[in-house]
């Protein structure tokens, strides 16, 4: 098994907790230890550890995690980046900050200030960005015409669109014919936050 840094941190915490207390921690205790507001990150890590043969989970038991194999010595296949919140693929939505993380393939070779956002809306579906997807963003303050950007409008509203700088205004184009272009005038109302470089989609979508 090749595990991520956060998965191994959770494994180490569970193993130490069991050694101290002779029982496994609850999901809530794991979240509290790592400062996570959502249980989703923990459930994802536990599923990966279980599939890798390191732990076993007993259903419907709050402390039903069992260590069944030692931690692997192999390297990491993925990097961890912050999940910063929600971005609109449609009308802009108020920027909402989050404090979770996601794992991305290390071969993406992302910069240290890359981050992820969860997409809300369907305005970018022709670019294979759907409602509920995670987009991977390289943090930048400028963009070239035609690039897909995450932008902040009037300092509060976040959106993902194709970017075109027209000098006195900016045109933001959707990748869905149901949406008309957004014209932002003056151009200074809009601030580029980053360039979209990847998409993570849940299986079955």
| Greater model confidence, 62 or 108 | 62
Residues taking part in catalysis: 123, 161
Domain ranges of the chain: 5-67, 78-200
**Structure confidence at residue 38 as a pLDDT band (50, 70, 90):** confident
Phi and psi of 168, rounded to 5°?
-85, -10
Average pLDDT, whole number, for the chain?
87
**Structure confidence at residue 72 as a pLDDT band (50, 70, 90):** low
Q: What percent of the chain has pLDDT over 70?
A: 88
**Structure confidence at residue 86 as a pLDDT band (50, 70, 90):** confident
Q: Are 136 and 125 in contact (CB under 8 A)?
A: no
Other C-beta atoms lying within 10 Å of the C-beta of residue 188: 9
What is the pLDDT, as a whole number, of residue 84?
Answer: 84
What is the pLDDT, as a whole number, of residue 23?
Answer: 96
Per CATH, the homologous superfamily of domain 78-200 is Umud Fragment, subunit A (2.10.109.10)
User: Using N-to-C axis directions, what is the helix angle for 5-21 and 27-34, rounded to 10°?
Assistant: 120
List the end-to-end C-alpha distance of the chain, in Å, as a whole number.
27
CATH architecture of the region 5-67: Orthogonal Bundle (1.10)
The pLDDT tens digits of the residues spanning 90-121 come to 766 565 566 677 877 777 778 888 988 989 99
The pLDDT tens digits of the residues spanning 116-135 come to 898 999 999 999 999 989 99
Confidence check: pLDDT of 203 > 50 = no
């Amino acid at each position: 098994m090749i595990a991520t840094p956060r998965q191994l941190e959770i494994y180490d915490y569970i193993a130490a907790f069991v050694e101290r207390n002779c029982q496994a921690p609850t999901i809530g205790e794991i979240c509290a230890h790592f400062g996570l507001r959502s249980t989703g990150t923990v459930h994802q890590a536990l599923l990966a550890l279980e599939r890798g043969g390191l732990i076993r989970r007993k259903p419907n038991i709050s402390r039903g995690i069992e260590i069944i194999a030692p931690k692997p010595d192999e390297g990491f296949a993925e990097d961890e980046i912050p999940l910063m919140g929600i971005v609109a693929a449609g009308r802009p939505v108020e920027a909402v900050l989050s404090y979770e993380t996601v794992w991305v393939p290390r071969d993406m070779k992302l910069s240290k200030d890359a981050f992820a956002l969860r997409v809300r809306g369907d305005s970018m579906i022709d670019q294979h960005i759907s409602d509920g997807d995670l987009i991977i963003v390289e943090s930048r303050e400028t963009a070239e015409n035609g690039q897909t950007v995450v932008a902040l409008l009037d300092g509060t509203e976040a959106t993902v669109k194709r970017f075109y700088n027209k000098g006195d205004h900016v045109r933001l184009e959707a990748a869905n014919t149901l949406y008309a272009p957004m014209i932002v005038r003056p151009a200074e109302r809009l601030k580029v936050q980053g360039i979209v470089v990847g998409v993570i989609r849940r299986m079955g979508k």
